[in-house]
Amino acid sequence: MRLFGKKKNKPSQQAFAVVTGAGSGIGRSFALELAKRGGTVVCSDINLDAAKETVALIEAQGEKAFAVQCDVAKEEQVNQLAEQAEQLMRSPVTLVINNAGIGLGGKFDEMSSEDWKWCMDINLWGVIYGCRAFVPKFKQLGHGAIINVASAASFTAAPEMTVYNVSKAGVRALSETLSAELKKSNIKVNVLCPTLVPTNIIKNGKVPHKGLLDYALTNLAFTTSDKVAKLTLDRLDKGELYTIPQIDAKLFWLMKRTAPNLYAKFLGTSYRLMN
């Protein structure tokens, strides 16, 4: 029997969790993995039918889950999600995974103000709203955990991905800051920074060269969403801030941290040669 408010050493075990963007991809994998670990999961997605499909998969495992529609770009809906989750699970939430996001690519001078707003509202503000909704509840509870899904784009800064890069860099910076601020409140934070993972982010986003990216996601991804979700939850349990799952992401991270100016020259030269 789980006791509400009892501190857990491993936040992914028997969690009362909320996952945004849980209707597909990494979000669905997070929800399924949490259920395997004995958790109760509120599966949130802007597409309610997709969230219900995830719930059905969890229920087939013999675990409990709930589907809730939520547009993370709207703060009032995220706040409502936080309240509704507690009512549905009849427990305080102990873990939130701010996963919902979209892809957006294109040259900087081809991106409109509407493009910027659309991407930032979902990818960055959606995560901010999620943290704002749950951090006060975790402080009141005495513990909690947050996983924010960023991207290796937050540090690779690849050309023709300006808006997306900025949105994900914001998520990483937010997570790094919160990790330091919230330690004294017994709230763990992890930020996930993958490269290619087979998900619907390309299909649901606006990116150039969709055919090429679809091929890369299908044939060149070094992992799966299920493996990424499991690894991230394990890292969270260990109290680690960063989850950088693939070897290519690790190499880019190492280059950027140890030789930033050399990396910038490499990036610029590579892009010029490709064009």
Residue 107 covered by a domain: yes
Residue 167 covered by a domain: yes
Residue 119 covered by a domain: yes
The upper half-sphere exposure of residue 117, i.e. CA atoms within 13 Å in the direction of its Cβ, equals: 4
Degrees, nearest 5: CA angle 19-158-226: 30
Cα distance between residue 103 and residue 109, in whole Å: 17
Residue 10 covered by a domain: no
Q: Are 130 and 78 in contact (CB under 8 A)?
A: yes
What per-residue confidence (pLDDT) applies to 214? Answer: 46
Cα distance between residue 228 and residue 206, in whole Å: 24
Is 216 a residue whose pLDDT tops 50?
A: no
DSSP 161: B
Into how many domains does the chain fold?
1
pLDDT band at 239; cut points 50, 70, 90: very high
CATH code for position 130: 3.40.50.720
pLDDT band at 271; cut points 50, 70, 90: confident
Cα distance between residue 240 and residue 58, in whole Å: 27
**Residue 164 appears among annotated catalytic residues:** yes
What per-residue confidence (pLDDT) applies to 68? Answer: 99
Q: Are 37 and 15 in contact (CB under 8 A)?
A: yes
In terms of Cα–Cα distance, which of 127, 118, 78 is closest to 204? 118
What per-residue confidence (pLDDT) applies to 274? Answer: 79
Cross-strand bridge partners of residue 104: 206
Residue 3 covered by a domain: no
State which residues form the domain around 262: 16-245+253-274
User: Would you give the distance in Å from CA 224 to the centre of its chain?
Assistant: 15
Name the active-site residue from 164, 215, 242, 263.
164
Q: Are 99 and 46 in contact (CB under 8 A)?
A: no
What size, in residues, is the chain?
275
Q: For 79-129, what is each residue's pLDDT tens digit?
A: 999 999 999 999 999 999 999 999 998 999 999 999 999 999 999 999 999
Q: Are 214 and 202 in contact (CB under 8 A)?
A: yes
DSSP 222: S
Cα distance between residue 89 and residue 257, in whole Å: 42
Cα distance between residue 135 and residue 216, in whole Å: 37
Is 152 a residue whose pLDDT tops 60?
A: yes
Residue 153 covered by a domain: yes
In terms of Cα–Cα distance, which of 185, 233, 200 is closest to 41? 233
